[in-house]
Amino acid sequence: MQFFLEVLIGGLLSGVMYALVALGFVLIYKASGVFNFAQGAMVYLAALSVVGCMEKGAPLWLAIILAFVIMTLFGIATEKFVLRKLVNQPPIALFMATIGLAFFIEGLAPMVFGSDPRALDLGIVDEPIPAILDAWGIVISKFDLVAAGVAALLVTTLALFFQYTRIGRALRAVADDHQAALSIGIPLQHIWAIVWGIAGFVALVAGLMWGARNGVQFALTFTALKALPVLIIGGFTSVPGAIVGGLLIGASEKLAEIYLPPVMQSLFGGNFGGIEGWFPYVLALFFLLVRPEGLFGEKHIDRV
């Protein structure tokens, strides 16, 4: 039981990291209807630019600010030079364009900042918290808790920003109905640029967390791919959905990784590790059969 809890909590906390990436997808999808495949690559770019700036001698806080500036400029440039040219194209063309964008980033970022894997030290230690370990005998990493706290803070900030600021209201209006928003004088293109800026910021937070956890390396882009099943489960348009979906994916893949291989081994023999590599996608596949709009998504969906 104790072991089960430990796996479950570990999974939930790693799910927080997926949720951080998924959040960036949801923001862009809501505001512009673009499914941004490059979000994972943006996470990589953000983490690399922090590490790159620190290598040039900048302190951590300055590196983060510089990375934020880079991400914002990059987001705005993407909107201006790629997506604006593709207005009125079918969504699938936009999706493929963001795949191209992902490759663009994956080529450019290591060229500028170097490609060898590096550690990113945020000053948070990745070790179990003694108090919890003594009281319940469960290993919970301090780092994971901080990551969860950061995610909660980020979601709260975003929610407040969307609810109470002028720009936030405009963003919600655009997400609701492009035409109506345009007709009451909301500048659509500015809004899109802002959304890409915010998505860049979310990517930066995710990049900091992921980079500090696993090191800044190319594999980051693959881990970030897991945000896609998170979105399917949570729903493409829902911020809470991204969080819940992330937790579900994180917990279920860790549980599957621990508890499925022995079962399969007794059935077929052999070694069946690495289930977490595909489990989220297959889970998402089943979700598509049962509830294609996701847990919190809008009912309206491209039904065939």
Partner 1 sequence: MIYREAGQFKTSYAADQQLFPIRQDRIGVILLLVVAFLIVPAVAGEYWFSAILIPFLIFSLAALGLNILTGYAGQLSLGSAAFMAVGAYAAYNFQLRIEGIPILVSFACAGLTAAGVGILFGLPSLWIKGFYLAVATLAAQFFIVWCLTKFPWFSNYSSSGVISAQKVVILGHEFASPREKYLLVLTLVAVMALAAKNMVRSSTGRAWMAVRDMDVAAEVIGIRLMPTKLLAFAVSSFYCGVAGALYAFCYLGSVEPDGFSLDMSFRILFMIIIGGAGSILGSFLGAAFILLLPIFLDIALPRMAGLLGLPFSNATVSHIQILLFGTLIMFFLIVEPHGLARLWQIGKEKLRLWPFPH
Point out which residues bind partner 1 (CB under 8 A): 35, 82, 85-86, 89, 91-93, 95-97, 99-108, 110-111, 115, 222, 225, 228-229, 231-232, 268, 270-275, 277-278, 281-282, 284-285, 288-289, 292, 301-304
304 half-sphere exposure, CB direction, 13 A CA radius: 3
Provide the minimum distance between the beta carbon of 280 and partner 1 in the complex, in angstroms, as a whole number: 9
Residue corresponding to tokens 């499925």: 260
Provide the minimum distance between the beta carbon of 201 and partner 1 in the complex, in angstroms, as a whole number: 23
Name the residue among 86, 94, 71, 83 with its Cα closest to residue 198: 71
Residues 23 and 25: their CA atoms lie apart, in Å, by 5
Q: Which is nearer to partner 1, 12 or 82 (CB)?
A: 82
Q: Which is nearer to partner 1, 111 or 131 (CB)?
A: 111
Q: Which is nearer to partner 1, 107 or 149 (CB)?
A: 107
Residue 117 phi/psi, 5-degree rounding, is -60, 140
Provide the minimum distance between the beta carbon of 14 and partner 1 in the complex, in angstroms, as a whole number: 18
Residue corresponding to tokens 């493929």: 96
Provide the minimum distance between the beta carbon of 303 and partner 1 in the complex, in angstroms, as a whole number: 7
Q: Which is nearer to partner 1, 114 or 137 (CB)?
A: 114
Provide the minimum distance between the beta carbon of 103 and partner 1 in the complex, in angstroms, as a whole number: 3
CB 218 within 8 A of CB 115: yes
Q: Which is nearer to partner 1, 135 or 289 (CB)?
A: 289
Provide the minimum distance between the beta carbon of 287 and partner 1 in the complex, in angstroms, as a whole number: 10
Q: Which is nearer to partner 1, 170 or 242 (CB)?
A: 242
Residues 242 and 174: their CA atoms lie apart, in Å, by 20
C-beta neighbour count of 190 within 10 angstroms: 14
* Encoded tokens for 157: 């900030």
Q: Which residues contact 175 (CB under 8 A, 6 or more apart)?
A: 30, 31, 237
